[in-house]
Structure 1
Amino acid sequence: MTVIRETGAPPAPPAPLSRPSRGRPALPRRRRGGGVWPYLLVAPTLLGTLYLLVYPLARAVLISLQDFQLRQLILGDAPFVGLRNYRTLLTDDRFWEVVRRTFLFMAVSVVLIMVFATLVALMIERLGRVARTTVLSALVLAWAMPVIAATTVFQWLFHSEFGVVNWALQQLGFGSFERYPWFAHGTAAFTILVLLVVWQSVPFAAITLYSALVTVPTELYESARIDGASARRVFSAVTFPMIRPIFMLVLSLEVIWTFKAFVQIWVMTNGGPGDATTTLPVYAVQTALSSQRYDLGSAASMVSVLMMATVLVLYFRQMFRQESEAP
């Protein structure tokens, strides 16, 4: 019997199957130097923001705590007086009258802006393609008009001798409006400024709300119509709940922009007649420039910022509370 022997090394045992890792796969390590580039790219924008926004705010806070008048502006030796400027400001009856007028101006303007913007957005949604394009183009052109140009147009519209408004009212039979001085009466000037701010703000709000309306599913409208809901019920139960986040965002932006409206009032009436159109921004500039009290002007600006921040914080707290309580 012949025995055959195999030469060479015995075969290697099969490699065990690797278990699948339960954790996340190992990620390649980043290079240490790569984490610097994002900060370098953001640095110019951050430095520009600090210089244009943070530095003026800090400078205004500093001036509001000093005795800073014309002499200190030239010589630069302004002593610190603590909260004396704020006490002087808060005990001034004229200041609180300006505060009430500012909130009245803001409330009336924002209500009109949101009402007209919502109606315009709903109208655009129901128009055909050509009419929708025409209306949107007109809104964009009105929105793009510079503030000074729009203010000048309104000044000429309500001019006492050459204004179109007086001429149109006379043609309609209102003879008492012949050479009517609109800007000499406080209520009339206040109304014109509200109309100007509303006219300038409605395009942005309407276009933004229209962009939110087109995202509402049509199936919801069809279901509401099948159930026999009226147009008002469809808007309150379907449309508004869907566009509510965008509506609240536009509302908060309009509150901010209306509260700090300055150019229109300063160019058109300069706060007059008397104090009929003087709001907090105008009051701060008048105090700083006319009276050479830069410290009181800065204090008025800081109080305006605190008031606006308080209003927005309370508003957002209420809004978040309603969102959390909603089913």
Structure 2
Amino acid sequence: MAVQPEQVTRGPGGGAGVAGGPPPTGHRARRRRGTGPVRRRHTALDRGLPYLLLLPATAVTVLLLGWPLLENVLLSFQNLNARQLIQHLTEWNGVDNYRGTLTNEDFWRVTGRTVAFTAVNVAAIMVFGALVGLLLNRLGKGMRLLLSLGLVLAWAMPVVAATTVYQWLFDTRYGVVNWSLDALGWHSMAEYNWFGGQYSTFFVITLLIVWYSVPFVAFNLYAALTTIPAELYEAARMDGAGAWKVFSHVVLPILRPFFLATTFLEVIWVFKAFTQVYAINHGGPDRLTETLPVYAFVEGVGNQHYGMGAAISVLTIVVLLVLMSSYFRVVAQQKDEL
């Protein structure tokens, strides 16, 4: 019996097939028909690629931040004064530096002062920064450009230069502030010493820090406001909402993550502010305006108790972490409410 040749048939799509044979299925069929996704196997390299890309940045961060922090922690367990530094001696004293710091009333007094100082500054920065950001959103193109230029110049000024300018402005004899107050009728302020009292010195430092930090909040808020559709404002105004209700019911709920993140950054920056506080009056008068960073510097470098200064700096980080933990709980609660 002669073998019959295989009959070639045409399918609906014009594809050729062999009569009597099983149709191709699975991956082979999808590849032949050109339809359906081709599943790719994930190799170990594919899974580890994100970590490899993050490795350089992680290594640089550990090198620049982690190593100095570790050295500072080790230094806080040493008795390192001028004698040990000159003779290159390493004297471990356990937790004596921490015990001496935590039992010192000055440390707790400075800690409370730093927390209050941070709270006042952050509140003022967020309020004035939000107002300036809302103003940027409402101004015309020309006035917005002019105000933005002024904010950029204030933001770009070096901290030491800005501090020097404020020292000149509030100078006792030749300061513009005293001269202006005297010209307006407050003659008792003609030669007022702004740096002779605790609260007046803190007032100048607060002005400096708020003035320096407002541009960051204002620019970020203005950028966030541009993402809100104009239809939401129009709908709120059609419902009879005024400016405050528009802000509290439209802007604030949408930009709540922005306010939380910006407040978080401002707490860190103000809490660790050193240059403004120290350069204005070196923590004076009578060390009444010292915050924790200045207190650590004065005790460590000024009094040459380097181990004690390192312990104070480590405790400063711990206090900041405690404050941030409370802040993170508030953020988590608000996130659950949303």
TM-score, with structure 1 as normaliser: 0.90
**Is 68-77 or 198-207 further displaced after alignment?**
68-77
Change (3 A) 1:140 1:18: farther
C-alpha distance after superposition, 1:239-283 (max 9, x if no partner): 100111011111010000000000111111110011221000000
Task: Give the superposition deviation at 1:20.
Answer: 4.9
Change (3 A) 1:28 1:310: same
C-alpha distance after superposition, 1:46-67 (max 9, x if no partner): 4432222111100111111121
RMSD of Structure 2 on Structure 1 (CA) = 2.6
Contact 1:64 1:296 in 2 (8 A): yes
Distance in 1 (alpha carbons) for counterparts of 2:92 and 2:319: 24
Which residue does the alignment assign to 1:65?
77
Contact 1:187 1:276 in 2 (8 A): no
Aligned residues: 321
Q: For residues 37-48 of structure 1, what are the structure 2 equivalents within 5 Å?
A: 39=52, 45-48=57-60
Distance in 1 (alpha carbons) for counterparts of 2:322 and 2:166: 33
Amino acid of the residue matched to residue 292 of structure 1? Q
Quick check: 1:263 aligned with 2:269?
Answer: no
C-alpha distance after superposition, 1:168-220 (max 9, x if no partner): 01110111112222112221111000000000000001110111111112111
Change (3 A) 1:133 1:16: farther
Change (3 A) 1:168 1:33: closer
Task: Give the superposition deviation at 1:10.
Answer: 4.3
Which residue does the alignment assign to 1:205?
217
C-alpha distance after superposition, 1:218-239 (max 9, x if no partner): 1111111111122211111111
- Aligned partner of 1:103 among 111, 115, 130: 115
Contact 1:190 1:276 in 2 (8 A): no
Contact 1:89 1:95 in 2 (8 A): yes
Task: Give the superposition deviation at 1:36.
Answer: 8.1
Task: Give the superposition deviation at 1:316.
Answer: 1.2
Quick check: 1:246 aligned with 2:258?
Answer: yes
Quick check: 1:314 aligned with 2:321?
Answer: no
Distance in 1 (alpha carbons) for counterparts of 2:49 and 2:336: 40
Which residue does the alignment assign to 1:133?
145
Q: Percent identity?
A: 43
- Aligned partner of 2:131 among 94, 106, 119: 119
Quick check: 1:295 aligned with 2:295?
Answer: no
Distance in 2 (alpha carbons) for counterparts of 1:113 and 1:93: 30
| Partner-residue secondary structure (3-state), 2:206 | helix
Which residue does the alignment assign to 1:226?
238
List alignment gaps of at least 5 residues for structure 2. Answer: 9-17, 31-35
Quick check: 1:164 aligned with 2:176?
Answer: yes
List alignment gaps of at least 5 residues for structure 1. Answer: none
Quick check: 1:18 aligned with 2:24?
Answer: yes
**Bigger relative contact order, structure 1 or 2 (CA pairs below 8 A, ≥6 apart):** 1
| Partner-residue secondary structure (3-state), 1:87 | helix
**Is 65-74 or 22-31 further displaced after alignment?**
22-31
Amino acid of the residue matched to residue 19 of structure 1? T
Task: Give the superposition deviation at 1:131.
Answer: 1.0
| Partner-residue secondary structure (3-state), 2:290 | coil
TM-score, with structure 2 as normaliser: 0.88
Change (3 A) 1:58 1:224: same
| Partner-residue secondary structure (3-state), 1:161 | coil
**Is 162-171 or 179-188 further displaced after alignment?**
179-188
Amino acid of the residue matched to residue 253 of structure 2? P
**Is 116-125 or 66-75 further displaced after alignment?**
66-75
